Structure 1
């Protein structure tokens, strides 16, 4: 007898989720940020579906059970390994600026200035959603099962309900007063007393169930040209700051195939998403510098290793802010930024015993070195990652986002709307150093999402990894790669290890972990670390003799499931 989602979740939490990991070896595996999503993906694989099929099913379920972080109205990046063709491909579905968008994100129609915080949670901040069109493209290229079958688990979860997860409850509690202002959000996630529903309370989303049924029957075009488009436009058009999106923007949105960017480190090829992902390049810069600095010879939890991690993170952050943008609109120097010569030069800037006074952007084109960096956009936090390997050897590394938690803090057809336009540069920069990431109509903002597949010496996938967590994505993925490739850690250690990094704009050490004890030694080396919460959502699958092992980040509700 089929278990209802609420009972299934309880069973999963009692068994696999208690550890969050599959020790391996397994022949197929799914790691996701919620047990119901991981189970949906594994069930698709068991039914003969491909890794691409499973990605569609997992995303649809996450849209229901993890509405703070991700949904069908957000943006996404995906890497796909085709085992038969031995080919790695990249797909991009980042939420884009509507055609009418200008650089004046925080100005109302009459020219008056509106607070950035208000705009960030309004229809003005909503980008044209790309996740569904991207998944439809991936499914067309690599799917095996019918599209309608892939949405069935999500429909069940939305109709029959699922228990309020701990992470969702925590996120809602952190912004309860703001979220409760939206009547749709309040009706779904708050009780009659005005407080967030307790953990374990059944949640049903009939509006999203109806939308999913329509998408199952009519395909993704039901959103871009069909009846769901009206719901999106109505929601983005509400005050206090209405959006720019039109029916034409939805109809003409294109998901894109973009070749991944790869570079050598630790005797492997580290491959990640290319721009407009800034995270993929920054990740490879960090990993490449740390390899050249000999981090493999240092103790994993030492102040000396943490020092190198922070310095590499600072240098990669400076380059990310200066050079990244939409490659269809600005000349992003992707290959020079990850070239061996450039990474060697950047690594030589790092003193193994002392923090540099300032970490400036480099000059990968050997001109205009040290130009000022563009301002970082609002920190991206509402993001999720999915790692999948199927029995045929195909693999998917898939990062998906609403941007900030709960995006624009409004729903359309029961689905969270993104606030992707906050990822454009807040400061367009001076004339002599314009921000590559300045907002313009039709342009795609940069994102720190960094879905990654590491190819081993045999040219086959060795790691399938990625994370949610805003700018901390880059640090968490980079250190996980180092943890496994340089220090020989397993997936449980790599996903749970204490977080260290500087991609969020300041040096950070995760509180209540061994990393916090490194604060004083690092200060003695010239650092100024802040100890605090560093919530991420790292998912990792690793090839081991005879199959795969996997783990999900213990900071969230995720699990790795396989057989």
Structure 2
């Protein structure tokens, strides 16, 4: 029966893939290294908030004005994003947060990644032995993990917040009940994703109010949910009826129904970890440690670039693009081979970002030719594992990032996600259900070894989120940043770091640079930029080049004389608010 099943699935794959989200194109990007764009930008002398939506940024600023600190503002802004950016992030998903305590100089990482239910098995995303196509798996009940965002926000707020928990919900409850004009980007994504009409949950969630002159986003069911969470705390979700509704909805999707249980929810815990840090040209860069691959992969790319004079290269030169692409390929090979949930897989982050190891790996990069295949290395052993399986790209592109700094210099970088845009296309209690479990490897083995990211009960899938702090040579927190974009996050944030450090551009100018990345299979360059003019030269070097709409979403804050300056990705609808 397998050939028939496989043929049938191939037809379905083609159908679903043809109807996936078409994102909006970016405008032409100027790659000149002369940095004039931020000379007259507004400097915030006390505090700043940058998110993907003006309402969320404004709510964060008002919390700071009311005496809250960076943690309070970040939590309030993330709650707001649950309403204003529901297709990317929210309390129905998970994320990672970095917190910097200015008084002590300490950093804290909070892991709110989703977990697989106790019923999960290695073949969770297989059908009669065949791995499902990613887009078919996204909408299955099995794609839904135990959400970690709410637990993470509560734990971090208990540790570092100043205002009362319930105060952080008030503004969003009012917005969700009254409604706002439908964000233009949300309208575009809804129009472009023709699969949404198949799912009544999503259609109902975004239905225009009768008699309205303009499309409006309103979610009174979410307002009621937030009111309960404000009054009762996370128990209303993890132990109460809100969680019951969430699990019941995932269990209704057939075939491959969700198998989340009350015990799975009751046992969920957000984890306090140490961020993983490394050095690059005298700067200290810290980001999310496993189960996120963000820090390790970014630090590996930078470590392999360190022996090269990147500062003398133009951002759009084939020389730089080739070097960056080859370093990224090698880093993503290690990512696939080694990184998973540290509770299930041994991940020696220190060895993987060791400067000596990366310097040796860098010597594998040939200046005139792309490698036939980029293989993982072996710290303290072989530089290349020749019989390794080729790297597979991850098919996930959603997520949102916010950055906050308060008047005392406390800071938060928070990346949150429901995984794919519109998640699993299911809604319960006003919350969009995540599909984060599709971040697991669908096949449990890699060549002759078990995948560190295979599905296992209670496990957290590998992530690419990279909330990031950058400290200058004097140890001052100088940049707070992160991005949306699935596994492309790593490339987006790394490109921005290179712009800041190697080309000494402002944060905004670094974000504006054309996007390019290599996740192991192909070199992706941003459509609508003059990187298009380099495709022929890059193909001559042996690269497989694809022109893509690379909608990043890097939002950050940089320290400047007399204050802070926010930067929002022009490819999104991000907004900077501060005083």
Q: Is the 8 A contact 2:479 2:557 kept in 1?
A: yes
Deviation at 1:521, TM superposition (A): 2.1
Matching of residues 210-229 of structure 1 within 5 Å: 210-229=224-243
Deviation at 1:346, TM superposition (A): 1.4
Match in the other structure for 1:180: 197
Match in the other structure for 2:7: none
Match in the other structure for 1:10: none
Match of 2:61 among 38, 42, 52: 42
Deviation at 1:462, TM superposition (A): 1.1
Match of 1:168 among 186, 192, 197: 186
Q: Deviations over 1:465-491 (max 9, x none)?
A: 110001110001001001011111112
Q: Is the 8 A contact 2:522 2:546 kept in 1?
A: yes
Q: Deviations over 1:302-361 (max 9, x none)?
A: 222222221111111111111111101111121111011111111111123332222111
Q: Is the 8 A contact 1:122 1:409 kept in 2?
A: no
Match of 2:80 among 52, 61, 67: 61
- Partner Cα distance (2:349, 2:389) in 1: 17
Q: Deviations over 1:212-242 (max 9, x none)?
A: 0001111122110122111111111113121
Normalised TM-score (structure 2): 0.89
Q: Secondary structure at the match of 1:467?
A: coil
Deviation at 1:371, TM superposition (A): 5.0
- Partner Cα distance (1:335, 1:27) in 2: 36
Q: Secondary structure at the match of 1:59?
A: helix
- Partner Cα distance (1:476, 1:46) in 2: 32
Match of 2:319 among 292, 304, 314: 304
- Closer, same or farther: CA 317–113 of 1 in aligned 2, 3 Å: closer
Match of 1:283 among 291, 298, 301: 298
Match in the other structure for 1:364: 379
Q: Is the 8 A contact 1:79 1:451 kept in 2?
A: yes
Deviation at 1:451, TM superposition (A): 0.8
Match in the other structure for 1:263: 278
- Closer, same or farther: CA 91–519 of 1 in aligned 2, 3 Å: same
Match of 1:468 among 484, 496, 504: 484
Q: Secondary structure at the match of 1:180?
A: helix
Match of 1:521 among 519, 529, 537: 537
User: Is the aligned partner of 1:332 residue 2:347?
Assistant: yes
User: Is the aligned partner of 1:484 residue 2:503?
Assistant: no
Match of 1:253 among 249, 259, 268: 268
Deviation at 1:150, TM superposition (A): 0.5
Match of 1:534 among 550, 553, 558: 550
Q: Secondary structure at the match of 1:463?
A: strand
Normalised TM-score (structure 1): 0.91
Matching of residues 346-425 of structure 1 within 5 Å: 346-366=361-381, 369-373=385-389, 376=392, 378-425=394-441
- Partner Cα distance (1:58, 1:431) in 2: 43
- Closer, same or farther: CA 111–51 of 1 in aligned 2, 3 Å: same
User: Is the aligned partner of 1:101 residue 2:115?
Assistant: no
Q: Is the 8 A contact 2:120 2:455 kept in 1?
A: yes
Q: Is the 8 A contact 1:164 1:198 kept in 2?
A: no
Q: Is the 8 A contact 2:333 2:520 kept in 1?
A: no
Cα-Cα RMSD: 2.3
Match in the other structure for 1:503: 519
Q: Deviations over 1:528-559 (max 9, x none)?
A: 21112111111121111211111111111111
Q: Which runs of 5+ in 1 are unaligned?
A: 1-18
- Closer, same or farther: CA 458–87 of 1 in aligned 2, 3 Å: same
- Closer, same or farther: CA 504–78 of 1 in aligned 2, 3 Å: farther
- Closer, same or farther: CA 504–222 of 1 in aligned 2, 3 Å: farther
- Closer, same or farther: CA 504–180 of 1 in aligned 2, 3 Å: farther
Match in the other structure for 1:292: 307
Match in the other structure for 1:78: 97
Match in the other structure for 2:30: none
Deviation at 1:146, TM superposition (A): 0.6
Q: Secondary structure at the match of 2:97?
A: strand
Matching of residues 453-464 of structure 1 within 5 Å: 453-464=469-480
Q: Is the 8 A contact 1:371 1:433 kept in 2?
A: no
- Closer, same or farther: CA 377–312 of 1 in aligned 2, 3 Å: closer
Name the stretch that deviates more: 512-521 or 475-484.
512-521
Q: Is the 8 A contact 1:71 1:401 kept in 2?
A: yes
- Partner Cα distance (2:286, 2:420) in 1: 26
Q: Deviations over 1:221-273 (max 9, x none)?
A: 21101221111111111131211200110011010011111111021111111
Q: Is the 8 A contact 1:295 1:305 kept in 2?
A: yes
Q: Is the 8 A contact 1:90 1:273 kept in 2?
A: yes
Deviation at 1:562, TM superposition (A): 1.7
- Closer, same or farther: CA 373–401 of 1 in aligned 2, 3 Å: farther
Q: Is the 8 A contact 2:469 2:477 kept in 1?
A: yes
Q: How many residues align?
A: 540
Match in the other structure for 2:46: 27
Match in the other structure for 2:573: 557
- Partner Cα distance (1:510, 1:198) in 2: 37
Deviation at 1:503, TM superposition (A): 2.0
- Closer, same or farther: CA 112–489 of 1 in aligned 2, 3 Å: closer
Deviation at 1:25, TM superposition (A): 4.6
- Closer, same or farther: CA 116–354 of 1 in aligned 2, 3 Å: closer
- Partner Cα distance (2:446, 2:223) in 1: 48
Name the stretch that deviates more: 21-30 or 263-272.
21-30
Q: Which runs of 5+ in 2 are unaligned?
A: 1-37
Match in the other structure for 1:7: none
Match of 1:134 among 138, 152, 155: 152
Q: Secondary structure at the match of 1:26?
A: coil
- Closer, same or farther: CA 200–386 of 1 in aligned 2, 3 Å: farther
- Partner Cα distance (2:318, 2:538) in 1: 6
Q: Secondary structure at the match of 1:537?
A: coil
